[in-house]
Amino acid sequence: MKLTRYLVLIGFCFLVPLHIFTQSGLNDKTSNNQQNALKQFDLNMNTSKIELENMDILKQIEPKATSSTIYNDQLLEGPVDGNKYIVGPNDIFALGVWGVVNEPLPVSVSPEGSIIIPSVGEVRVAGLTLSTAKEKVIAAVKKRYISAEISLTLISPRRFLVTVSGVGQGTYPVSAIMRASSIIAFIFSDSLSLMKSGTSPSERYSFSLRNAKLKRKNGETIRVDLRKYFATMDEKYNPFLREGDLLTLQKYDWEGKFIGVQGAVQFPGIFEYIEGDDLETALQLGRGVSSVANLDSIVISRMDPSATKMENFYISFEENKNMKLQPNDRVYVTAYAEQRRDFRVVVLGEVVRPGTYPITINNTRLSDILRETGGFLPNSYLPTSEVYRKLDTFFIQTKNRDTLENVYTRRLNDIVSNKEEKESFDQDLLYKIGRVNVDFEKLYEGDQSQDIILKNGDIVFIADNRKEVYVYGQVNKPGFVPYKEGADVSYYVSASGGYGERADEDEVRVIKFKTREWLEPDEAEIQSSDFVYVPRIIKRDFAYDIDLISKVASVLVSVITLTLLVIQSQK
């Protein structure tokens, strides 16, 4: 009986502090769960159903924390570093008093910067690192619950406001796990934020990414350098935000102080100059050097203030990495002259093994590659096979290439001098293609003059024997006609239903598939894939004939008149 009274007395000793503890939650989201826990506690006490098995009284009355007592919808870079995270108002923690209350209880930092723990008291934690705050809280709770295991875990980082001046001026909601880059990225992507500072969206990239100022509430000023942060991942150039921060963003004049980084670096470009920049910083801004960089041969070009004289410094990186640069210096990292590049050609069509084949520079011949492909297939057709090569102007966008090409190639000429010649030249220019003149039939017969040296990017196409000729124009049934070796134009016209009513039989032409030459029938041997074109007779109206006759008559009259004048003058 004495033992039972003793246990009940112990239960009431824990009842009051735990009841207060539960009601002291600062998060509105936890209130319903806490009230439910209290109701369950009261019900258990009123019905005297506290089980004394194993003497674990507290297990019967502790409040049940659920996922609704905390929130954690913020994106993290990784685990929070306890030695860097600074605790502040509205941080939410889970306090564990293991062995007394076997589930964590939510607590938060008050607006005054303290955690209030029932039966323990007020523990001030604002401004401390997370690690120091944990030690302080655990030590305080340990004094009250000597035999319990105490833990304090950050559950949800706080949210607060940060002020921005200059570009994008205003107040922005952030969290304690956000860096300065987060708010800068938001401002640069939000047109309304830019308009607040009188900046148009078209100017969004004319701002300093290396010289933003972050002023702390304690007066400390930090220079935010996003380019160097993303190059080095050094956190001092992109700190986490805190309450009371003032972030100042300013415009940057690209015609002012800059550093040029070119040559064998990952991302060449022009970067903002900051006092104290050295050679190592310059290469970091270019995101490091490429695999062919020659770090023993770096050139720094420096102009005098008048921009009329320039001095070049030839240096090695290891010996001069700390060399201070001056505004408007240009750094050029040379590259090793590597000749062994990925030279290759593509073979398509009727060969045993079509595909991509490596070649050497100016040394691999067409016959060498054809041997590697395993030779021609039975259906290959050499008369229409081709080799294609890139034109030098193909690097220009297609819609601009023709205009620029005819401007470049028409300079200093002595032929294109009038409108008609210009139109003819421009028309011919459109037909420029990268065909290499190779006669595969002669090559197959051993003609070494056709065994050309292949270039990087060449395409070798071995055509198939279609065994057909296309007949069109003024025939009754235009279309494909089966190829017949040795047959002439009349055979193909006849196979197409004969001449049409308005066919001009005297002007029939054979168009060669490979060269697109127009040949008269008696000059051409029709081959597979060629074309036969039958033009139409153009009927002229009476007005055309009268106009032509009048022009001819005018010329004749002029000639006769001139002749008479000459004769008269000789008398």
- Window from 61-65, 489-493, 520-524 with minimum mean pLDDT: 61-65
Quick one: average pLDDT of 51-65?
36
Contact partners, residue 544, CB within 8 Å, separation at least 6? none
Q: Is residue 400 pLDDT above 80, yes or no?
A: no
Residue 436 β-bridge partners? 387
Quick one: average pLDDT of 152-173?
92
More confident residue, 285 or 168: 285
Q: What pLDDT does 452 receive?
A: 96
Give φ, ψ of 235 to 5 degrees: -65, -15
Q: Is 143 helix (H, G, I), strand (E, B) or coil?
A: helix
pLDDT one-digit tens code per residue, 77-105? 889 999 999 999 999 999 999 988 878 88
Q: What pLDDT does 434 receive?
A: 84
For 529, half-sphere exposure in the C-beta direction (CA atoms, 13 angstrom radius) is: 15
- Rounded distance, CA 120 to CA 24, Å? 12
Quick one: average pLDDT of 19-47?
40
> What angle do the packed helices 31-46 and 2-23 form, to 10 degrees?
160
- Window from 110-114, 362-366, 483-487, 550-554 with minimum mean pLDDT: 550-554
Q: What pLDDT does 544 receive?
A: 66
For 551, half-sphere exposure in the C-beta direction (CA atoms, 13 angstrom radius) is: 6
pLDDT one-digit tens code per residue, 314-327? 999 999 999 999 99
Name the pLDDT band for 29 (thresholds 50, 70, 90). Answer: very low
Quick one: average pLDDT of 240-258?
88
Quick one: average pLDDT of 512-526?
91
**Structural contact between residues 153 and 104, judged by C-beta atoms closer than 8 angstroms:** yes
Q: What is the mean pLDDT of the chain?
A: 83
- Rounded distance, CA 138 to CA 120, Å? 11
Residue 86 β-bridge partners? 129
**Structural contact between residues 254 and 324, judged by C-beta atoms closer than 8 angstroms:** no
- Window from 36-45, 159-168, 175-184 with minimum mean pLDDT: 36-45
Quick one: average pLDDT of 53-58?
34
Q: Is residue 67 pLDDT above 70, yes or no?
A: no
- Window from 378-392, 504-518, 544-558 with minimum mean pLDDT: 544-558
Give φ, ψ of 171 to 5 degrees: -115, 135
pLDDT one-digit tens code per residue, 223-237? 999 999 999 999 999
Name the pLDDT band for 468 (thresholds 50, 70, 90). Answer: very high
pTM for the predicted model, two decimal places: 0.57
More confident residue, 251 or 192: 251
Q: What pLDDT does 73 receive?
A: 67
Q: Is residue 507 pLDDT above 50, yes or no?
A: yes
Name the pLDDT band for 433 (thresholds 50, 70, 90). Answer: confident
Pairing of strands 159-166, 170-175: antiparallel
Q: Is residue 358 pLDDT above 90, yes or no?
A: yes
